[in-house]
Structure 1
Amino acid sequence: MTLSIVQGFTKSLAMTILSEIGDKTFIAAAILAMRHPRRLVLTGCLSALIVMTILSVVVGWAAPNLISRKLTHHVATFLFFGFGLWSLWDAFKDEGDAGELAEVEKQLDADFKGTAATDNKDHDEKKKTMRPFLAQFFSPILLQAFSITFFGEWGDKSQIATIGLAADENPFGVVLGGILGQTLCTTAAVMGGKSLASQISEKMVALFGGVLFIIFGIQSFLSPVN
């Protein structure tokens, strides 16, 4: 494994963990896992995050082929500093950690009430006959977990940061680190449940994430354009 892959992997892994742990999609996965089978929730959430990671890396990898390498390097450096300051701002804002948990739970309650009748109907039908494998795999629960996670991550700062990282580092290493980080965070959310989400200090995570982004920015600023 080359040095560039290792560097992209470690940066992506650290960035993903500090960006994803305790955020809205993490909390949503934890709450969904309390109401539905963990296997389906984990499959849906993790699939969405892997797809989002690969799409982001592809965009970042293609950027230097569309515009100059020097420009993409400067943009990536700017993104690191920008998201570092953004995370530090979030860390010092006077908002309680429980506020986001309550907000996500309220949104999922509305969705849950809307789909409760359908889920009960499906449950009754499953008592009468076994559904095909594909019908079980693409269940309403799995699709709900996938869609909530995918659209919750779309446009999030972690997605844009992944694009910037892939434009400046080895894309293969960024994919590996991102997928491993997403797997660790999502598995922790699903297995740990709501209690884990409520105990995580989002301010501390945002603080460490902000410092990490700024370190990446400094390293990118000091490194030459390849």
Structure 2
Amino acid sequence: MLAVELPDKTLVATLVLTTRFRAWPVFAGVCAAFALQCVIAVAFGSVLTLLPDALISIVVAVMFGIGSFMLLREGFSEGDEAGEDASRSGPAPLTFLRSALTSFGVLFAAEWGDASQLATAGLAARFDNPFAVGVGAFAALVSVAGLAVFLGAKIRSRIRPKLIQRVAGFVFAGFAVFALAHLIW
């Protein structure tokens, strides 16, 4: 599960969130989202695997398309130089709760139909130990989130957040195209 998540949107989304907000609220929010997603995947393992691939691909493409649009819109928005310099100094001064809830919402939505969720559901349906499957999936997701939070905190002061948003926006657009291409293949 860990290998599936390393090049995945989970890493990218958590990395971008960490460049926008403080690290601990992001980590808390994404861990809560992963915990809920793992519980849902394990609980409905056999049902989730019965969803048609086309429906999953369309939903994933739409989610990535919306995420791409939002990131690119903000990444290319006109900002004054003073605001740009202020954003380089660190994360936005939001409350812990607001940052954690934003992170939770982004990752909870992004993980629907994700390979890790479907793999967790499939493994829970196949093996007779849903608790172990859920804990293993959660541990893999938290490991990826921890890596992304660490990297995001390190690069936040070195790279302009608008550049990261632009790159992430194009990456998300690529994920949307890939999800749509999955319908054809």
TM norm. shorter chain > 0.5: yes
Residue aligned with 2:105, SS: coil
2:160 aligned with 1:187 = no
Whole-angstrom distance in 1 between the partners of 2:29 and 2:52? 19
* Cα deviations by residue, 1:79-127 (Å, 9 ceiling, x for unpaired): 5541223324665x6x893x41487x79xx8xx9xxxxxxxxxxxxxxx
Whole-angstrom distance in 1 between the partners of 2:65 and 2:5? 19
2:12 aligned with 1:18 = yes
Map of 1:146 onto structure 2:
96
Larger C-alpha radius of gyration, 1 or 2? 1
Is this contact kept in 1: 2:26–2:100, CA < 8 A? Answer: yes
Whole-angstrom distance in 2 between the partners of 1:63 and 1:87? 21
Is this contact kept in 2: 1:85–1:214, CA < 8 A? Answer: no
2:172 maps to which of 202, 206, 214: 206
AA aligned opposite 2:47: L
Which structure: greater helix fraction? 1
2:46 maps to which of 57, 67, 70: 70
Map of 1:174 onto structure 2:
141
Map of 2:33 onto structure 1:
56
Equivalent pairs: percent with the same residue? Answer: 8
Map of 2:130 onto structure 1:
none
Whole-angstrom distance in 2 between the partners of 1:12 and 1:152? 21
Report the TM-score, using the length of structure 1 for normalisation.
0.49
Map of 1:34 onto structure 2:
none
Residue aligned with 1:192, SS: coil
* Cα deviations by residue, 1:168-208 (Å, 9 ceiling, x for unpaired): 3341222212321233234323432446447x345422222
Mapping of residues 48-127 of structure 1, within 5 Å = 48-67=25-44, 69-74=45-50, 78-79=55-56, 81-88=58-65, 91=68, 97=72, 99-101=73-75
How far is the alpha carbon of 1:167 from its aligned partner? 5.8
Is this contact kept in 2: 1:48–1:150, CA < 8 A? Answer: yes
* Cα deviations by residue, 1:25-66 (Å, 9 ceiling, x for unpaired): 45634xxxxxxxxxxxxxxx2212221222122212222453
Whole-angstrom distance in 2 between the partners of 1:64 and 1:150? 22
Is this contact kept in 2: 1:20–1:182, CA < 8 A? Answer: yes
Is this contact kept in 1: 2:67–2:172, CA < 8 A? Answer: yes
AA aligned opposite 1:73: T
Report the RMSD for the aligned CA atoms in angstroms.
4.2
Whole-angstrom distance in 1 between the partners of 2:28 and 2:65? 28
AA aligned opposite 2:2: F
Whole-angstrom distance in 2 between the partners of 1:86 and 1:142? 24
How far is the alpha carbon of 1:70 from its aligned partner? 1.2
Whole-angstrom distance in 1 between the partners of 2:48 and 2:30? 19
Change beyond 3 A, Cα 1:79–1:145: farther
AA aligned opposite 2:49: H
Give the length in aligned residue pairs: 155
Report the TM-score, using the length of structure 2 for normalisation.
0.57
